[in-house]
Amino acid sequence: MMITKKHVSRRMVLRGLGVTVALPFLEAMTPAFARAAAARKVRLSAIEMVHGSAGATVFGLSKNMWSPAAVGTAFDLSPGALSPLEPFRDYLTVVSNTDVRNAEAFSLPEIGADHFRSSAVFLTQSHPKKTQGSDVHAGTSLDQIYAQRFGQDTAIPSMQLSIETVDQAGGCAYGYSCAYTDSISWASPTQPLPMIRDPRAAFDSLFGVGSTPAERAAHRQTDKSILDWVTGEVARLQKDLGADDRRRLGAYLEEVREVERRIQRVEAHNATGEARELPEAPIGVPDSFDEHVKLMLDLQVLAFASDVTRVFSFKMGRDGSARVYPESGVRSAFHPASHHGEREDRVTDFMKINRYHVSMIPYFLGKLKATPDGDGTLLDNTLVVYGSPMGNSNVHNHKRCPLFLAGKAGGALRGNLHLKAADGTPMANVMLSLLNDIGVTDMTSFGDSTGRFELKTVPASTVAE
CB burial string 44-61: b at 16+ within 10 A, e below: bbbbbbbbbbbbbbebbb
Query: Going by CATH, does the domain composed of 42-197+285-437 fall within 3.40.720?
Result: yes
- What is the rounded distance in angstroms from the CA atom of residue 133 to the CA atom of residue 151? 30
The sign one gets for the Cα dihedral 173, 174, 175, 178 is negative
Residue 441 burial (10 A CB sphere; 0-12, 13-18, 19+): exposed
DSSP code at position 261: H
- What is the rounded distance in angstroms from the CA atom of residue 233 to the CA atom of residue 336? 53
Closest to 176 measured CA to CA, from 208, 205, 140, 133: 133
Helix (H, G, I), strand (E, B) or coil at 224: coil
- What is the rounded distance in angstroms from the CA atom of residue 441 to the CA atom of residue 388? 25
Instruction: Report the pLDDT value the prediction gives residue 1, as an integer from 0 to 100.
Output: 30
Whole-number CA gyration radius for the chain: 22
Helix (H, G, I), strand (E, B) or coil at 376: strand
- Provide the β-strand partners of residue 186: 192
- What is the rounded distance in angstroms from the CA atom of residue 63 to the CA atom of residue 80? 8
Closest to 54 measured CA to CA, from 393, 417, 422: 393
- What is the rounded distance in angstroms from the CA atom of residue 252 to the CA atom of residue 310? 17
- The answer to whether the beta carbons of residues 54 and 341 sit under 8 Å apart is no
- The answer to whether the beta carbons of residues 78 and 67 sit under 8 Å apart is no
Provide CATH 3.40.720 ranges for the chain.
42-197+285-437
- What is the rounded distance in angstroms from the CA atom of residue 5 to the CA atom of residue 252? 20
Render 386-415 in DSSP notation, one character per residue: EE-S-S-TTTT--SSB-EEEES-GGGT---
Sorted by sequence, the CB contacts under 8 Å of residue 306 that are 6+ apart come out as: 21, 22, 23, 24, 252
Q: Which amino acid is at 229?
A: W
pLDDT in tens, the chain (465 residues): 334 456 666 667 888 767 888 888 888 876 544 554 555 689 999 999 999 999 999 999 999 999 999 999 999 999 999 999 999 999 999 999 999 999 999 999 999 999 999 999 999 999 999 999 999 999 999 999 999 999 988 999 999 999 998 766 667 888 999 999 999 999 999 999 999 999 999 999 999 854 556 555 555 555 678 888 888 888 888 888 888 889 989 999 999 999 999 999 999 999 998 999 998 899 999 999 999 999 999 999 999 999 999 999 999 999 889 999 999 999 999 999 999 999 999 999 999 999 999 999 999 999 999 999 988 999 999 999 999 999 999 999 999 999 999 999 999 999 999 999 999 999 999 999 999 999 999 999 999 999 999 998 876 655 444
- The answer to whether the beta carbons of residues 417 and 73 sit under 8 Å apart is yes
- What is the rounded distance in angstroms from the CA atom of residue 95 to the CA atom of residue 31? 38
- What is the rounded distance in angstroms from the CA atom of residue 427 to the CA atom of residue 52? 13
* Strands ordered across the beta sheet of 417-420: 159-162, 311-315, 43-48, 382-387, 403-406, 92-96, 417-420
Sorted by sequence, the CB contacts under 8 Å of residue 265 that are 6+ apart come out as: none
- What is the rounded distance in angstroms from the CA atom of residue 199 to the CA atom of residue 201? 5
- What is the rounded distance in angstroms from the CA atom of residue 38 to the CA atom of residue 31? 10
- Provide the β-strand partners of residue 19: 16
Closest to 151 measured CA to CA, from 11, 306, 25, 43: 43
- The answer to whether the beta carbons of residues 246 and 230 sit under 8 Å apart is no
